[in-house]
Structure 1
């Protein structure tokens, strides 16, 4: 006989799990950032088959420590500087817990009215906090929706753009003819993947050259590519501009790109996955200039806005175009509310049918922190990154290799007499990461090997960034000494 966890058992075990998470957060700084496990180690600690009989919850929780934790890379660690942050916070976790407890499947308004309407209002709240153009509000022709990631947002934008460019023919006849997509050479890999999935083919993703100083898309190069492709019989469908590229956080010139897209009738999607959160701060909204040209825009609250993965905020200026591109309506989904036209059915705004109540964690976060708390979090990251960049510049062994308007700094050891900056920087990264106190990643900037330090973990303070610099400086001395 199946034994479900009753309310009292859930209460007792739930308290134990909350205690476990709180203890984990309290112990983060004492842990190595990276797992020391070798490939297959976690799998080797798991039994070869599921248990025949149910087990006591205390034993499950104990195995969480014994089996899982040795294989965890600690993204919330104050020394985690490797990738853009994947923030989580107490309010976010608790909102997710409520969502899981409710178990709502919000594919239609009718299957979860609160799931739909809280989400609509939260996306309007966010649009206000970021001062997005009025056309993205649900009160007009546009509106917002939560996707799982910016990659999915790019895919949905690609499908909507293809729908517009083909005048709807792709829905019934498939992709006929050659459609083209444009992004800078620094654009995210998800743009190529979206083109594959949409049937455009990644061979028709056109990489646009960037300004050598800013590493941002060159509008003149974009115009030249559009004209050449049109002359060759292609149909340009989509331009993806980026606010905060993954490699260096370059900011594409949206006003110039947007004017070109409007001239040629091409859908403009703006990907601000990481850096979009910065627009809660008025002094950083210059990065969003020209957004009135965008047909769609997204950013990830799950990166830098203290909301746990997954939560991408995606807006369109004309929701009718998006719904027309994606809607499929079998008989079993028909209902009176949808037929009335008075509600939103978010199933038509995404690839999957099903939807979690993700807006709850966003609601909890926005209410707990308020606009002031969110601005303080963003400003703290920017300030710590600027302080780190200052230390790099003050050391003539190093150079900062790209602008750093947000909280990412790209830097390297210089080429010098007898020193190959690429080799030395790679050796420095290996030594720094081996210590377990901090974690950095690398990229290539103008062909040169560079280290990336991304500030953003919720527990990171100025003291942790200072510790990171001391370690980097000391290891650089060892590397350069040979």
Structure 2
């Protein structure tokens, strides 16, 4: 959309009047609608160099007010070139996400209301809508009730660990802290080596230290090895550590593996440990009845996190935290200064959610989740998540049929872990360098955006589908870009890298079936 800039500085006193807000609101909604309509036409990865945005902006603040047309024109001129388009269907890095239409509209209302649900009375609607919406989601996921739920900015692992620490008998960390206490045992908690980095950051934040986290080896499927967990706990008890929690993962970041939660729950019950389940990405898949198995055992967890901003089409800062033990959270965080004294929270009829969280204030995050759940309904959510899983399986078949790519782990949900592996190239360092260069070429092209990880030391490409705008056309583009990048890299490989395939390569159809044979000097493949 072309924006006509206004002219001249404007004196400002008071807020924008209602008619101006209406006029600019229409302008901005039209701009957003056009952006969402045309988003696939933008290079998905920002095509700027470090410092470009800073240099395009004035170094001094504005002395006078400016017209909104002028500001929006600068959004197009300065901001848009530096946007990596997470809402694009071509964004398949990390975890594919969508801020859906109903969520965008809800965010507008949230900005208009501008409330904080720290106390019940500071926004009764925000508090009570959150409780109802999270109970809806609990039912959709097939989890038994009752569960206490809250929405956090992210998966609240630090809150879970703080509550778990508070439950350690005789520790009294809330009152006495950790520092300078000679009688304080060394605390230990456990997660698999595939757990999210936020687990380790939580240890840093809580003053436990990185050494308090013991990473448990995984099995051939990248799931936590329960026998190794048992052995680690027994070793730590003999060595003077005090084990207090285990974090299991349903849908690990690199491979989307599902830890054996039921067996881990058995272990936690045996040793009296708090069990937190991080189901940030994959937990949403349990909305599909056939996928309910992924949350099996989670009803025994002390706490559980699921991020609707990953796969339930809401914008960021919408992570759901459930617990069977809300009093542990309250024991860890409840603190009411004089200026927040109230009667409602003592009546038992009203929740003051600030008593269950360290952050203050907190806005109205339930509104966007509530509107999104209502707009799509459970059947719409199921259909979209199932479609993403089908697309991932289709891409996996293309990889499996290809003579120059290989699948590194089974595709469980909507993330595909793979790499290029031309025949005759067996040196792992060379393969790592080749895959890194292929990924850099693909992302630099701007047509698609993928990410990487390492699995058992191997450089791994990741294609993550989770955006409502990702269709077969977008994964076909990604496949074509990968093959083109590999073809260019193969042409630049030094002759000392001998033994590479010079034979026949397959051209893949949309169905993933090999249809045409080409010479080694031809195309590496196409949709």
What SS is found at the alignment partner of 2:167?
helix
Distance across 1 between alignment mates of 2:58 and 2:410: 50
Larger radius of gyration: 2
Q: Name 2:513's counterpart in structure 1.
A: none
Q: Measure how far apart 1:19 and its partner are.
A: 0.7
What is the aligned counterpart of 2:278 among 271, 283, 306? Answer: 271
Q: Equivalent of 1:462, from 468, 472, 493? A: 472
Instruction: Measure, in 2, the Cα distance between the counterparts of 1:87 and 1:223.
Output: 39
User: How far apart are residue 418 of structure 1 and its match?
Assistant: 4.2
* Aligned CA distance change for structure 1 residues 168 and 5 (closer, same or farther; 3 Å): farther
Give the 3-state SS of the residue equivalent to 2:245 in structure 1: strand
Deviates more, 1:459-468 or 1:299-308: 459-468
Looking at secondary structure, tell me which structure has more helix per residue.
1
> Displacement of 1:135 after TM fit?
4.0
- 2:70 pairs with one of 25, 43, 59: 59
The number of equivalent residue pairs is 473
Partner SS state of residue 134, structure 1: coil
The corresponding residue for 1:321 is 328
Residue in 2 that maps onto 1:156: 159
Q: In the TM superposition, what whole-angstrom CA distance separates every residue of 1:454-482 from its partner, at most 9, and x where no partner exists?
A: 11122111111122112212322332333
TM-score normalised over the length of structure 2: 0.88
Match of 2:190 among 174, 182, 188: 182
Q: Which residue of 2 aligns with 1:345?
A: 352
Give the TM-score, by structure 1 length.
0.96
The Cα shift of 1:403 comes to: 2.1
Tell me the residue number matched to 1:120: 131
Q: Residues 167 and 85 (structure 1 numbering): CA distance in 2 closer, same or farther, change over 3 Å?
A: farther
- Alpha-carbon distance in 2 for matches of 1:60, 1:166: 57
Greater CA drift, 114-123 or 22-31: 22-31
After superposing the two structures, state which structure 1 stretch, 4-13 or 335-344, moved more: 335-344
Superposed, 1:214-233 pairs within 5 Å as: 214-233=221-240
1:372-391 equivalences under 5 Å are 372-391=379-398
Give structure 2 stretches of 5+ with no counterpart. 1-11, 179-183, 494-527
Q: Work out whether residues 218 and 225 of structure 2, in 8 Å CA contact, stay in contact via their aligned partners in 1.
A: yes
Tell me what 2:497 maps to: none
**Matched residues in 2 for 1:425 and 1:193: separation?**
29
Partners of 1:165 and 1:236 within 8 A in 2: no
Q: Is the 8 A contact 1:413 1:422 kept in 2?
A: no
1:208 aligns with 2:216: yes
Q: What residue number does 1:140 align with?
A: none
How far apart are the structure 2 equivalents of 1:368 and 1:281?
Answer: 17
Are the equivalent residues in 1 in contact too, given 2:189–2:214 (CA < 8 A)?
A: yes
Partner residue in 2 for 1:103: 114
Q: Give 1:401-480 correspondences, 5 Å limit.
A: 401-414=408-421, 416-418=423-425, 420-480=430-490
| Aligned twin of 2:176 | 173
Unaligned runs of 5+ in 1: 137-142
The aligned counterpart of 2:4 is none
Query: Which residue does 2:152 correspond to in 1?
Result: 147
Corresponding residue of 1:46: 57
Q: Deviations over 1:320-346 (max 9, x none)?
A: 111111111112211111121221111
CA root-mean-square deviation: 1.3
- Distance apart, 1:168 and its partner CA: 5.5
| Cα shift readout 1:69-93 (whole Å, capped 9, x = no counterpart) | 1100001111111110232011001
Q: Report runs of 4+ in structure 1 exceeding 3 Å deviation.
A: none
Structure 2 residue aligned with 1:192: 200
| Structure 2 CA distance for aligned equivalents of residues 328 and 445 of structure 1 | 44
Which residue is equivalent to 2:288?
A: 281
- Deviation string for 1:45-68 (max 9, x for gaps)? 111122111111111111110111
After superposition, what is the alpha-carbon deviation per residue over 1:251-285, rounded to whole angstroms, capped at 9, x for unaligned? 10101011100111100000011111111111112
Counterpart for residue 139 of structure 1: none
**Which residue does 2:518 correspond to in 1?**
none
CA distance in 1, matches of 2:230, 2:214: 12
The answer to whether residue 28 in structure 2 is matched with residue 17 in structure 1 is yes
Whose relative contact order is higher, 1 or 2, with alpha carbons under 8 Å and at least 6 apart?
1
